[in-house]
Structure 1
Amino acid sequence: MNSTSDWGRVEYTSVRELRGPLAVIDQVSGVGWDEFVQFTLGSGEQRHGLVLEVDRGTAVVQVLQDTAGMDPARIRTLFTGSPLRIPVGPSWLGRVCNGRGEPLDGGPPVFGAGTSAVGGNPINPVRRVPPADPVLTGVSAVDALTTLVRGQKLPVFSAAGLPHLELAAQIAAQSTAGGEPFCVVFAAMGVTHADANFVRDALEERSAAGELVLFLNTADDPVIERILTPRIALTVAEELAFTGGRHVLVVMTDMTSYAEALREVSAARGEIPARRAYPGYLYSDLASLYERCGRIEGLPGSVTVLPLLTMPAGDITHPVPDLTGYITEGQIVLSREVHAKGVYPPVDALSSLSRLMRKGAGPGRTRDDHLDVAAQLLAALARARQIRELADLVGHSALSPTDRRYLDFDEAFYHGLVDQRRDELRTLEQTLERSWQVLLTLPRSQLAMLPGDLLDAHGAAEGG
């Protein structure tokens, strides 16, 4: 028998084959793309899936818990008639869950007053409000030079061996929205169990305060779950922001693991590969995640997205960072050279950029001198890099006194401003005062981008 009726819904027994994480079901009707599916195994075990494709009565379903142990002859398949929906609301706060939203903290399942589809709803461009006002991370390299703005999507580009997970956890633990209601949704994808335990420990205090939702997808979890994790995280965040009135920071790491999961599923489906064997729709798929951030006219709160990704072999032209850079509004780049100096976080300031920084920093938002100080720091750092390259060619002794001051500035910049402890929370005032101390290693004549009254107020001295 092909099917039976279940309260008006049809239950099918015609599973043709199981292929990796996919189940192929024949002789179906009335089934739609992205529909949620329930499988009942011969043992009574329940598994779930999502419809990837329907063609002439055949449905291809991705099984969220993988197909291991499933016997095609003893499976009953129920198509629910709607996309995957999850409960939403403040009951998620303080919870630790796996990538499917099932509790890992020993608590009961998460319930909510309503449910939302994990695919989300497009935001009407006319109702989008431009990002404004800062999210302060307590990390000097970010707050001073690449200020994160509420409603922005700002990725962190890293490489294997660099402390990007530590930075992600520190930002998630320390970030604030200037005293307004704030929370963090942290989605970890493809991490080791050791890294998952590190994240739980690092964010324990914020979780206990009811300001964190933590989703942990480990490397040995089903690959399909990895594709679902960021969507569930963003669905939870949207409700907390636009209904609950909170400013929500969504930290997603590692997006390269997500893209590799997408590639694996694409290969299982037999799709024609594009660049580096990733599916041709990688750009639109990443955009469907990143573009769920923002602010909406007439609704409270905001969703800010901070995706982290490792660049294979440190290659910034790799498809994942390359496409991410097209979609997002800047990037924070971590550097092996800075890491080798013993500096944490190893941010390459000249390769990093926040395109919306002027919308969230400066008069009325952070401090009146913030943008001028940031511009002068970057200009001086660029000059210092040129002089360091010149010194490698002609020798240190051939440099002028002013050139040597720039080398002193370079050291002061990394060790006096960027470098900080992994548990150190710096206020914006502390960060900007450190910025001034670093700038004042240069003579006043080299600080041409700063107004004279600011130089007088901070005691900038003349000198060669």
Structure 2
Amino acid sequence: MSVEYLGLSQINGPLAVLEGLQGAKYDEVVEMNVGGSDRRLGRIIRIDGDRAVIQVFQGTSGMALRNTHTRLTGRPMMLPVSQDMLGRTFDGIGNPIDGLGEITAEEERDINGMPLNPVERVYPRNYIRTGISAIDGLTTLIRGQKLPIFSGNGLPHDRLAAQIVTQSSLGDDASDESFAVVFAAMGVKYDVAQYFRKTFEEAGVLDHVAMFINLADDPVVERLITPRAALTLAEYLAFEKQMNILVVLTDMTSFCEALREVSSSKGEIPSRKGYPGYLYSELATIYERAGIVKGGKGSVTQIPILTMPNDDITHPIPDLTGYITEGQIVLDRELNGQAIYPPISVLPSLSRLMKDGIGDGYTRKDHQDVANQLFACYAHVGDVRALASVIGEDELTDLDRSYLEFGRDFEHRFINQDPHDNRTIGRTLDIGWELLRKLPRTELDRIDTKILDEFYEKKGSGDPDASEKNSENGKG
């Protein structure tokens, strides 16, 4: 028999307090009827005896202590999932908002997911091509990896996110029938949400993208559910439908700020910068839902995007994110000021799993050597620029001037590319070789001699895709 509780004890921001509960469970979903007609959902986030604190997903606006009836459902929050959700748009808690009707669910899943057994995890191999040279060439994204993008206010991370969604694929020669994207936006303005929808539609990729949109004026509690709902669908498609899923989450800073606001409403003791002490574990429950399971063909790969307050990479959000994830891609304000897009600062950026998903059998045999040499040469460019600022460019040696020319061309030809320029791995590496040929061969000490003999004097490589191998049939 279902028991309905009349009235509330307290309302505080997005939280409601109910006393006298019996048999309530942590994380249980409750149904709340406001004024006899307005139905809302909530989640129990704290239990103290017969007293429970409830997060109200649609917010507490219009709720009063005496006009609300609450019923326990006895289950956690579930998301109806189906492969038909690809090509559709949902709100932050998974309700369709594209006017195309309800989803016929194949099953319902707990949005909190199930932890992946470490023994069943498969080490990530094979790359995902984004078509962006600074990512594919130097910080390659590997299937099953979690690789965040650290941005700042005013930097073009939204444009970069849209480009990644529209261009990403399993490789230059791979069939993308088993590839799809789950895109989740948290706390975005209406015009930004429209920009994403329009961009995906114009690029013709909407049929393999599922969008979860939480707008800035939506209830803050909904923001805490959005990434979990998106990852629940991603896990279903990856591990039940054997698809390779790329999950793009933007902006994780909005998620963390919502967590701080709810924590403050609960009266919890704050930690660094006012964030709750469990911020690390909350982020881990999201980021660790990436991976590959033994015996399956599917994978979940994550690109979380976060804006660093005051461009501070030591801020708790990027700091803790860096502990959990396998590298980072850092956007640079100085490069952005030079109209270089995408303004990726390659020196502090890295992909810790890159070495195991590139090279012969995956991308091209010279990939690792080219990446190492480009990193080394561009790092030396910084030293030469510092010297030139002291003694003047005219006083530099011919070799140092060659490095300055290399640095300018590297930023304007390799890093910089048109938002609609979808480069293959072959084209990216060919541009890298064109830049390295500006330097004497004796300076290229990070490249194997056999690779150097084969590629250094080669002025043209013909079809850049001809030498690439499909990673689908590669090693691993």
TM-score, normalising length: structure 1: 0.96
1:43 Cα offset (Å) = 3.5
SS at 2:421 equivalent: coil
Q: Which residue of 2 aligns with 1:414?
A: 411
Q: Report what 2:468 is aligned to.
A: none
Kindly state the Cα deviation for residue 438 of structure 1 after the two structures are TM-superposed: 1.2
* Counterpart Cα distance in 2 of 1:162 and 1:208: 24
Q: Root-mean-square deviation (CA), in Å? A: 1.2
Question: Hey, what does 2:32 align to over in structure 1?
Answer: 39
What's the CA shift for 1:210?
2.1
Distance 1:166 1:111 in 2: 33
Q: Residue 105 of structure 2: which of 104, 107, 112 is its match?
A: 112
The letter of the residue matching 1:16 is: S
Task: Render the CA deviation track for 1:328-381: whole Å, top value 9, x for unaligned.
Answer: 000000001111221100000001000000111111111100000000000000
Aligned-partner SS, 1:217: strand
Q: How far apart, CA to CA, are the structure 1 residues paired with 2:202 and 2:239?
A: 25
Q: Aligned equivalents of 1:456 and 1:53: distance in 2? A: 66
Question: Which whole-Å CA distance do the structure 2 matches of 1:382 and 1:460 have between them?
Answer: 24
1:115-161 residue CA offsets vs partner (Å, 9 max, x unmatched)? 10000001111001111100110111100000000000000001111
User: Does residue 114 of structure 2 align to residue 121 of structure 1?
Assistant: yes
Identity among equivalent positions (%) equals 49
Matched with 1:139 is 132
Cα deviation, 1:160-205, whole Å, max 9, x if unaligned, reads 1110111011001110113241000000001111111111111125
Mapped contact 2:7–2:67 kept (Cα < 8 A) = no
Give 2:454's match in structure 1, choosing from 452, 457, 461: 457
Counterpart contact for 2:359–2:367, Cα < 8 Å: yes
The Cα shift of 1:206 comes to 6.2
1:150 pairs with 139, 143, 146, which one?
Answer: 143
Opposite residue 435 of structure 2, the aligned amino acid is V
Are 1:204 and 2:201 matched, yes or no?
Answer: yes
Letter in 1 for 2:31: Q
* Residues 374 and 389 of structure 1: CA distance in aligned 2, closer, same or farther (over 3 Å): same
Deviation at 1:286, TM superposition (A): 0.2
| CA distance in 1 between partners of 2:206 and 2:387 (Å) | 52
Contact 1:444 / 1:460 at 8 angstroms: preserved in 2?
no
SS in 2 for 1:67: coil
CA displacement, residues 368-408 of structure 1 (integer Å, 9 cap, x when unaligned): 00000000000000111111111111111221100100001
Equivalent residue letter for 1:97? F
CA distance in 1, matches of 2:455, 2:132: 23
Size of the aligned set, in residue pairs, is 454
Contact map agreement 1:156 1:306 (CA 8 A) in 2: yes
What aligned pairs does 1:102-251 form with structure 2 within 5 A after superposition? 102-178=95-171, 179-180=175-176, 181-205=178-202, 210-251=207-248
Superposition map of 1:226-375 within 5 A: 226-375=223-372
Deviation at 1:88, TM superposition (A): 1.2
How far the C-alpha of 1:208 sits from its partner, in A, is 5.6
1:457 deviates by 3.1
Contact 2:33 2:40 in 1 (8 A): yes
Letter in 2 for 1:82: R
C-alpha contact (below 8 Å) 1:95/1:207 kept by paired residues: no
Q: Quick one: which of 55, 59, 66 aligns to 2:52?
A: 59
The letter of the residue matching 1:110 is I
Relative to structure 1, the CA distance from residue 49 to residue 342 in structure 2 (aligned partners, 3 Å threshold; closer, same or farther) is same
* 1:438 is aligned to 2:444: no
Tell me, in whole angstroms, the C-alpha distance in 1 between the residues paired with 2:117 and 2:399: 54
**Alpha carbons 1:189, 1:217 under 8 Å: kept:** yes
* Secondary structure of the corresponding residue to residue 242 of structure 2: coil
Superposed displacement of residue 459, structure 1: 4.3
- SS of 2:261 mapped into structure 1: helix
Equivalent AA in structure 2 for residue 143 of structure 1: D
Cα distance in 1, alignment partners of residues 434 and 141 from structure 2: 23
Distance 1:14 1:385 in 2: 65
Distance 1:242 1:146 in 2: 26
Q: Contact between 2:132 and 2:422, CA under 8 Å: does it hold in 1?
A: yes
For structure 1, the 5+ residue unaligned runs are: 1-7
> Who is 2:3 aligned against?
10
Q: Is the 8 A contact 1:196 1:216 kept in 2?
A: yes
| Structure 2, gaps ≥5 residues long | 459-476
Q: One-letter code of the match for 1:129? A: V
Q: CA deviation at 1:458?
A: 3.2
Secondary structure of the 1:262 match is helix
Counterpart of 2:345 in 1: which secondary structure?
coil
Distance in 2 (CA, whole Å) between partners of 1:207 and 1:93 is 13
Contact 2:110 2:232 (8 Å CA) reproduced: yes
Q: Distance in 1 between matches of 2:162 and 2:150?
A: 15
Rounded to whole Å, the distance in 1 between the matches of 2:421 and 2:92 is: 29
Say if 2:126 and 2:362, in contact at 8 Å, map to a contact too.
Answer: yes
